[in-house]
Amino acid sequence: MTESMATEYLNSKNMTDAVSAVREMKAPKHFLPEMLSKIILCSLERTDEDREQASTLIHTLRTESFITGENFMQALLNGLDQCPKIEVDIPLVKSYLAQFAARAVIAELVSVAELAHPLENGNHFPLFLLCLQQASKLKDREWLTDLFQPEQEIDQNKDRMLEILDGKGLSFLFPLLKLEKELLKQIMQTLPLGPSIRDEQLSSPSKEHLDQERQLLLAFKPVMQKFLNDHTELQVSALYALQVHFNANAFPKGVLLRYFVNFYDMEIIEEESFLAWKEDVSQEFPGKGKALFQVNQWLTWLETAEDEESEEEAD
């Protein structure tokens, strides 16, 4: 009955008749995922327009309270389980299923989290990335960036992850990951090879190197401001990231101070965030004592300047 209804609907595009046919079926709840699977499978060998129409039917059935988001996820996973068999005749089956998933996210039938959960740890790879790729095409990057907020930082295999995301056109979802790689690449290109020479140039930089360093920071200023603006906690985290990085590199003389001053002058980090970092007694991140030794005098000046500014505003 479902196959007959889906075929008739895809040929006629008559939504009213399709919804009436589903109503007349009076399908038990445990059958709903299979019914949705049949609708999806019936459209796979047809055109992109037909697959979009099938998605529209599914979303309409949700609006009419015939199905739930959970029913859809079960249907999607059922389709994925059949992929090895279907791929023989339809090589792009995973991309087509990704279209259904992406449209379901856009229509708010399911959330990104609900979609991601059964696909964790690479299950059905690369379906989740294909879903994001399709959502980016169907909607736009800004919408997807706002919607997709990773809950965990990627600490391992960063280069490989960025390579995979780049291959799918999704590196915009992790701009800070790309920023880190690009910034380090550019800094390394401006410095001679060899750790001892590099440390010496960082500690006693030429005017040319200082200009290059500042230009790199200015180039990435917009994305850093976008992520850090008005978020004191994130700004403090950024300062700790600098602390940890330079601690791992034995704190070349004056470099941390230079970065603190640049971040302040470029309005990337605000006064209260610097002072919050100074007063924080957390021992979670290594090198705090050495970092304070390098920047304490400047922080004292900053604190004094802020106090004077507050007094002037009060007067």
Q: What is the pLDDT of residue 278?
A: 92
Q: What is the pLDDT of residue 153?
A: 42
Confidence of residue 85 (pLDDT cuts 50, 70, 90): confident
Residues with Cβ within 8 Å of 113's Cβ and at least 6 positions away in sequence, in order, are none
What mean pLDDT, rounded, does the chain reach? 78
Cβ pair 255, 211 in contact under 8 A: no
Residue 105: pLDDT above 90? no
Q: What is the pLDDT of residue 266?
A: 92
Cβ pair 243, 285 in contact under 8 A: yes
Closest CA to 103 of 76, 144, 79, 135: 135
Q: What is the pLDDT of residues 253-272, one digit of tens each?
A: 888 999 999 999 999 999 99
Retrieve residue 310's tokens.
Answer: 């507050």
C-alpha to C-alpha distance for 93 and 98, rounded to whole angstroms: 8
Percent of the chain with pLDDT strictly greater than 70 = 74
Q: Which of 5-19, 124-138, 205-219, 224-238 is the most confident on average?
A: 5-19
C-alpha to C-alpha distance for 96 and 91, rounded to whole angstroms: 10
Q: What is the pLDDT of residue 155?
A: 44
> Helix, strand or coil for residue 82?
coil
C-alpha to C-alpha distance for 301 and 283, rounded to whole angstroms: 25
User: What is the CA angle 226-172-285, rounded to 5?
Assistant: 60
What does the pLDDT average to over 34-38? 90
Confidence of residue 152 (pLDDT cuts 50, 70, 90): very low
Task: Give the other-Cβ count within 10 Å of 259's Cβ.
Answer: 19
Retrieve residue 251's tokens.
Answer: 């704190």
Helices (H), 64-206: 69-81, 83-86, 93-106, 112-116, 127-138, 141-147, 158-167, 175-190, 195-203
Q: Which of 52-66, 85-99, 169-183 is the most confident on average?
A: 52-66
C-alpha to C-alpha distance for 214 and 261, rounded to whole angstroms: 11
Residue 298: pLDDT above 90? yes
Give the CATH number of domain 177-192+206-313; options: 1.10.3720.10, 1.25.40.180, 2.40.30.10, 1.10.540.10: 1.25.40.180
Task: Give the other-Cβ count within 10 Å of 91's Cβ.
Answer: 9
CATH level 3 topology of 1-148+157-173:
1.25.40
Q: Which of 24-33, 143-152, 205-214, 293-302 is the most confident on average?
A: 293-302
Residue carrying the six token digits 């401001």? 225
Q: What is the pLDDT of residue 196?
A: 42
Residue 166: pLDDT above 90? no
Cβ pair 224, 273 in contact under 8 A: no
Q: What is the pLDDT of residue 160?
A: 55
What does the pLDDT average to over 44-48? 87
Helices (H) and strands (E) in the chain, counts: 18, 0
User: What is the CA angle 291-297-303, rounded to 5?
Assistant: 105
The better pLDDT of the pair 209, 289 is held by 289
Q: What is the pLDDT of residues 182-237, one digit of tens each?
A: 555 554 444 443 344 345 555 567 788 888 888 888 887 887 887 788 888 888 98
Q: What is the pLDDT of residue 261?
A: 93
What does the pLDDT average to over 141-156? 54
DSSP state of 285: S
C-alpha to C-alpha distance for 10 and 193, rounded to whole angstroms: 63
Q: Is the dihedral of CA 177, 179, 182, 185 positive or negative?
A: negative
Residue 300: pLDDT above 70? yes
Residue carrying the six token digits 């304490």? 296
Cα distances (Å, whole numbers) of residue 121 to 38, 124, 125, 133, 170: 27, 9, 9, 19, 18
The better pLDDT of the pair 290, 282 is held by 290
Q: What is the pLDDT of residue 151?
A: 39
Q: Where in the chain is the domain with CATH 1.25.40.180?
A: 1-148+157-173, 177-192+206-313
User: What is the CA angle 279-244-291, rounded to 5?
Assistant: 50
Q: What is the pLDDT of residues 58-69, one digit of tens each?
A: 999 888 888 888
